[in-house]
């Protein structure tokens, strides 16, 4: 495998790892011991005590580490990535991740990756954004933040088959009061097989897992009439490519957002996230072949229209349909020099042209999001590159 996998494999040789997770009870988080949110120092002590490969993948503006934990063999074919508490004032997901990584099997066909604290500065400050006030979950396209860049590198290097993103929401009575909300990628550029299985993960695995335990659940971002159960209007959860749920789908992984209700007790919220994690684990075990096939098919797409707008529940405006698609986009030497790192983090390949320009052909695995980054018609492009009909 590539860079990070090789690093983690080397680190794992330095740690005595038991064959399974069924050994002694092991360490406990600050939350488990005291009922309050685990502190920063408690988190670091806990992570070091688990005996799992632990790697620093980034550093925040205030100097805190962004870390990656691996549970399972680096050689496993199926990879599941859990992104925990991108919003610093939504701590229940972080606690659930810290608890769950302790009990997962350390051998077998699935590797589980955790970014246990995706916004360390925001958690320390108890703010939604990072220490610069940026919402990290709106930065998975432009990659302005160290936190989003670290996540992009993990997605590029590990090619996760499933990306489970843990959040919390504030309810709006009487239309938005479920215990748990969930949603798949809605972006129209997500390949059909990935989109379909992502929705299956939400509806057929997360929903029954949390509801079997007596929780209520529903689709994120949709106000529902409490009497009829019919949707009233959509207030969130669209197809924006910069949101991880959608970015993950564009990068060939089953994307999933799970949100717990902040009006419930901390213990209830953490337990709800643990139930949702059960659903993702069950989905992965049951559908490994279908997941791998859908992701492979997504990576192989090289033709068809692309979209700058719309969603799976909202037809695109005709002006937002890119058809026919260009062969590629030409970048000036200055554009390439300025944004080379972002292109690399997204796994986008380019070729040198005479005169110092570069061309980014669409016939590559990153096809579904290249126009979203390079075309002037996109909502939030990284640059305005020149589309060309022939490469």
* Active site positions, annotated: 259
Burial class (CB in 10 A: 0-12, 13-18, 19+), 256: buried
Q: How far apart are the first and last CA of the chain?
A: 30
Dist CA 165 CA 231 (whole Å): 24
Q: Which region holds residue 229: left if phi is over 0, alpha if psi is between -120 and 50, else beta?
A: left
Give the Cβ contact number of residue 116 at 10 Å.
26
Adjacent-strand bridge partners of 81? 113, 163
Dist CA 129 CA 121 (whole Å): 9
For residues 83 and 163, the answer to whether their CB atoms sit within 8 Å is yes
φ, ψ dihedrals at 81, nearest 5°: -115, 125
Encode 341-360: b = buried (16+ Cβ within 10 Å), e = exposed. ebbebbbbebeeeeeebbbb
């Amino acid at each position: 495998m590539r860079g990070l996998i090789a690093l983690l494999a080397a680190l794992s040789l330095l740690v005595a790892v038991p064959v399974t997770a069924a050994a002694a009870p092991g360490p406990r988080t600050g939350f488990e011991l005291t009922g309050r949110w685990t502190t920063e120092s408690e988190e670091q002590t806990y992570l070091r005590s688990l005996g799992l490969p632990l790697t620093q993948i980034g550093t925040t503006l205030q100097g805190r580490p962004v870390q990656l934990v691996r549970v399972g063999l680096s050689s496993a074919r199926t990879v599941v990535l859990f992104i925990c508490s991108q919003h610093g004032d939504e701590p229940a997901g972080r606690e659930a991740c810290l608890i769950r990584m302790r009990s997962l099997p350390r051998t077998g066909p699935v590797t589980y990756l955790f970014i246990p604290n995706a916004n360390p500065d925001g958690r320390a400050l108890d703010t939604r954004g990072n220490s610069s006030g940026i919402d990290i979950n709106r930065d998975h396209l432009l990659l302005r933040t160290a936190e989003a860049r670290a996540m992009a590198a993990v997605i590029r290097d590990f090619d996760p088959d499933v990306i489970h993103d843990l959040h919390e929401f504030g309810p709006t009575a009487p239309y938005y009061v479920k215990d748990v909300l969930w949603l798949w990628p809605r972006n129209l550029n997500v390949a059909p097989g990935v989109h379909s299985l992502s929705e299956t993960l939400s509806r057929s695995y997360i929903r029954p897992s949390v509801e079997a335990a007596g929780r209520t659940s529903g689709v994120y971002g949709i106000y529902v009439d409490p009497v009829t159960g019919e949707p009233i209007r959509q207030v969130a959860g669209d197809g924006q490519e910069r949101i991880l749920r959608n970015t993950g789908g564009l990068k060939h992984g089953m994307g999933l957002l799970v949100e717990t209700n902040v009006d419930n007790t901390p213990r209830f919220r953490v337990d709800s996230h643990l139930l949702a994690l059960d659903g993702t684990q069950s989905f992965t075990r049951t559908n490994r072949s279908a997941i791998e096939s859908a992701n492979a098919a997504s990576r192989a797409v090289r033709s068809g229209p692309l979209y700058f707008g719309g969603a799976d529940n909202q037809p695109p405006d005709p002006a937002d349909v890119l058809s026919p698609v260009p062969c590629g986009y030409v970048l000036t030497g200055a554009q390439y020099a300025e944004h080379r790192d972002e292109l690399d983090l997204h796994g986008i390949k380019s070729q040198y042209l005479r005169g110092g320009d570069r061309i980014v052909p669409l016939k590559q695995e990153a096809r579904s999001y290249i126009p979203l980054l390079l075309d002037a018609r996109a909502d939030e492009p990284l640059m305005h590159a020149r589309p060309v009909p022939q490469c």
